[in-house]
Amino acid sequence: MEEKISVIVPVHNGASYLEECIRSILAQDYEALEVLIINDGSTDTTADICERLCGQHDCLRVITLPDLGVSVARNRGLEQARGAYIMFVDADDRLRPGVLKSLHGLLRQTDSDMAGCSFATWGTPREWQRLRAGKEMPEELTGENAAKTYHGDAYLKENILRGNTRCWSKLYRRELIGQVRFREGLTIGEDMLFLVELLPRMRRAVETAYPGYGYYQNPGGAMRRPFTPEYMDQIYCWEMARELIVRRDSSLSAQTDAQIMVAVMLTVGKIAMLSGKARRKAREYLRVCHRKLKELIKEKESFCYLPAGYGVKVRLFACLPGLYVWLYHYGRGNVKGTRG
């Protein structure tokens, strides 16, 4: 008898895409399945869609919250999940056929605590249909999709510190998660921090480059919205993660500092794209970013771990923050009417 997989889907005002997400999960060829939809304060017709879907499928459950944020929603799902395995799916994304069964098999074959796959992006129904119709995740992964197994320290160095910081597209043993939860009140970077906090419990993880998860390039998604103070979360999450990482392995301090630098520069870029009036209101956040970066660049070794092009950006913003913001703003080709 198959062990149950619990798929946790947090949603806020997802009426335009939730149903297709759920149908992609229900279409999986893994029978012992429960799907928990966490309706986090939706004010559109999301609740009606949830009620209708639950009436059609016994394996669906809906938990309603008063708009408490994605971390609270995922945590509530963890508290209510009954499965021996857990997967997180964002409500605007979709699963490619067969991926749940394949990840479960991969996890069991390698005696791992977590099995992950890569993702493919899509933005239109036609792109999704093309992706969905592609080759399913094979039972035997070879070539560029060959699965690679890591112990905890190697997973940190070769995945988390190299950009694989997503909590979705992964299947977890329930025992791995235990009482670890997402840090509530954080909206960007909270999934990376969740993975870092799982490391002390992780014996082994397995990853494949096969893109079994369909990531929707949502124009209204958190990373595509204009700057809000919540964007600072990605810096704060990496700073919290740094404490845990350096405590685990002090040799990784420079590599982790590089990740904080990148988070700072991504935040600065968001602020730079605001209108003149909005940039002036966000001036204190720029000062915080500049102050943090000035402290970080004292460790020269960190520059070795920056992605291509970031070394120049970091040095320019550290020396001439006003010029960097001006160049970024006008160099990106602003939409008419955004200048203040």
Tens digits of per-residue pLDDT, 234-270?
A: 999 999 999 999 999 999 999 999 999 999 999 999 9
List C-alpha distances in Å: 331 to 225, 227, 237: 19, 18, 29
**Hey, where are the domains in the chain?**
5-216, 226-331
Angle CA 328–330–332, to nearest 5: 65
pLDDT along the chain (340 residues), means of 10: 92 96 96 96 96 95 95 97 97 95 94 96 93 79 82 94 96 97 94 97 95 86 76 97 96 96 96 93 96 93 93 96 94 49
Tens digits of per-residue pLDDT, 94-128?
A: 999 999 999 999 999 999 999 999 999 999 999 99
Task: Give yes or no for a contact between 98 and 28, defined as CB atoms under 8 angstroms apart.
Answer: yes
CATH of domain 5-216: 3.90.550.10
Q: 102: which residues sit within 8 A by CB, 6+ positions away?
A: 117, 136, 137, 138, 139, 210, 212
Chain centre to alpha carbon of residue 26: 22
In the chain, how long is the greatest CA-to-CA distance? 63
Tens digits of per-residue pLDDT, 282-306?
A: 999 999 999 999 999 988 899 999 9
